[in-house]
Homo-oligomer: A and B are copies of this chain.
Amino acid sequence: MMSELLVFVNDEFIPASKASLLVGDLAIQRGYGIFDFCKALHHTPIFLDEHLHRFAHSAGRLRLPIRPKKEIALVIHQLINKNNIPHSGIKLTLTGGYSPDGYTLAQPNLVITQTPLHPPTPDTFEKGIRLVTYPHIRQMPDVKTIDYLMAIWLQPYIREKNADDVLYHRDGLMSECPRSNFFIVTKDDTVVTPDENILKGVIRGKVLELAQQIGTIEERSVSLEDVRNAREAFITSTTKHIIPVLQIDGRPVGDGFPGAVSRHLRTQLDKLVASVTP
């Protein structure tokens, strides 16, 4: 029933098969735009305030005027009611708009889509993922821009290296995966995650809070050496929550199996998400 889903474009709810932007939009012309992505469970957006806050931050950094958070939240709730998908991903996109000269910023276009999304399963956690490192830092990494040029371009490379996703680094300092944050757990059970050249994920923040309740956390640079000495590694994202990283560049992380700290944090995160889900 994908074709019947509604998409919000500026001021209207439009069937997905007709939801479009004119080709003069600066996202199409110049790749200029931001987005955010939150999850809804049982028709309820999870951590919506945090996502709207970050969306506003991204908009500000790219000098795109944005509507009040309350107004966007209202549209999201209307969209959820209209589409009636219990578990979904909600993507907010704000573009540079219809520029008269294809270069100057114009009135932004706001697009809000909703697509079915299934919560991560225990199996997803046990299976874990394999990463391959690649030297790249996103432009303006603190901003959730639509720039995924390298991420998409690297897909064949990732497959060729028998990996599931890419871990960006610069000069051997790890930063992030294209759509998730990266953590290691050291031999003394400290939970460490990079603090520079990254997008600060909403789940990253929640996991740091949870980790702090049970032990030590550090937000600092993570070298390849740190990764090799780590007992565990995992990634966090809105879609995936916590997934153990079992291999990096073909070498096992720790013993190559999901670790106790990752597992504990996942349980705690599941509880936290459940506590804000009706």
Contacts and interface: CB of A to CB of B under 8 A. Distances in A.
A258 interface: no
Nearest to A62: B153
Contacts of A150: 139
A27 B152 CA distance: 11
B147 A31 contact: yes
Interface in A96-115: 96, 102-105, 111, 113
A68 interface: no
A149 B145 contact: yes
A269 to B, nearest CB: 24
A155 B104 contact: yes
A23 B250 CA distance: 37
A19 interface: yes
B156 A30 contact: no
B152 A32 contact: yes
B140 A149 contact: yes
A2 to B, nearest CB: 9
A31 B33 contact: yes
A146 B22 contact: no
B20 A149 contact: no
Contact of A27 (B7, B17, B27, B156): B27
Contacts of A153: 32, 62-63, 140
Nearest to A150: B139
Contacts of A7: 23
B26 A27 contact: no
Contacts of A22: 16-20
A30 B151 contact: yes
Contacts of A63: 153, 156
B28 A28 contact: yes
B19 A146 contact: no
A172 B95 CA distance: 32
Interface in A73-90: none
A23 B148 contact: no
Interface string A1-42: 000000101000000111111111111111111000000000
10 contacts: A20-B21, A21-B28, A29-B148, A30-B147, A30-B149, A31-B33, A31-B145, A31-B147, A136-B139, A147-B147
Interface of A: 7, 9, 16-33, 62-63, 91, 93, 95-96, 102-105, 111, 113, 136, 139-140, 145-153, 155-156
